[in-house]
Structure 1
Amino acid sequence: MKLYVVPTPIGNLEDITIRAINILKSVKFIACEDTRRIQILLKHYNIEGKTLLSYYHPKEAIQIRKIISLIRKDEDVALVSDAGTPSISDPGFKLINTCIKENIPIEVLPGPCALITALVGSGLPTHSFMFLGFAPRKSQESFYKEVFSSDAGSYILYESPQRILDTLELISYIEPNITVAIARELTKIHEEYIRGNIKDVIEELKKRNNIKGEIVLVLSKENTLNKESN
């Protein structure tokens, strides 16, 4: 049988394909980061009777062998993450890589991905981009200097609301004229984009008492948001 890689909504539960729902209905086993999160989705679509396998970084090695064993016993397994596409800053790469090495079929479904949604909505260049995953906690200055030495049209990273201001201030020190788009709470009720020169965006955030929600940060050295640039 095979491993199905199934993207799940990044916020709005309606952002899932018919095919993804059918796969989740058809398989007996679902490998997931947090069983509580996937149960919300399954309940929303009246999907019952599934065996949920906890699959997250500390348990990856053990669970990979268990999942491989199930597939070899003629069971299909669906891999999901808490939100978005598995393996993109979420567990999944090692399992998929192992399946390929062991000649186990995989089928990847297209679907929600926060970094692509944020990039498209940012208004910043999409012809080339660099995805940085989660912002680093150490050696940040050297990291960003190396990143911005590349020629990508846009740079995308995930950041927490608690650290976003510190991250922007450091980037502003390295690239004072860089353009920024903050995508916050994508597909949810309070979805918001904050766009502009990095210094203006920093000032806007400083006016807010409390920054909340999941954040995708998009940056570009090309000032495409300036009306005169058109």
Structure 2
Amino acid sequence: MQQLVIALPKGRILKEALPLLREAGIHPEAALFDEDSRALRFATNRPDVSVIRVRSFDVATFVAFGAAQIGIVGNDVLAEFDYSELYSPVDLGIGRCRLSVAEPLGTPPITSESHVRVATKYPHLTKLHFAGQGIQAECVKLNGAMELAPLLGLAPRIVDLVSTGKTLKENGLVEREVILEVTSRLIVNRAAFKTMPEVARLVDAFRAVLGRAAA
């Protein structure tokens, strides 16, 4: 029996994805939701399906390279990496947020600047966004604590995910521009979609779940 692996992101999206997984017939073992567990691979109610729990950016990589056949990840990650091996057939409508430019309150608008320094973990999308305005973006790659960059003089602006805006406000930052509206997508490896019938069946199962929710 060929094992099918589903890659899931840690954190909030994992919790939001659980009801959809269950309705699609996949019930992961309880240990998946134990934040103290150091395990990374988990069994499900189906012997032919297992789940891995990884960082959101790594979900796309595991699926693109065929280590997992299916995953759930935000379209921000898909746009940042643009893997040709990925197919995203279903917008799950969970994990809603936005990718935005933020800066300290009172920062003058970008007008005549031809170069900006930006702290972000999205260098590709950031450069594309500013290039569209005729501005060259120098990206400082950070993986977290983005709000510290302007406060400590590392970069005057950041590009990061924003949900409520509370974290920005608490650190004296304001949202200046929205680059991308974000939701989580079901993604599949293109080769697996063509060669493993169960992958296509699971895609149909997720579509049916969302169809029932919309009815």
TM category, shorter: 0.3 to 0.5
Bigger RCO (CA 8 Å, 6+ sep): 2
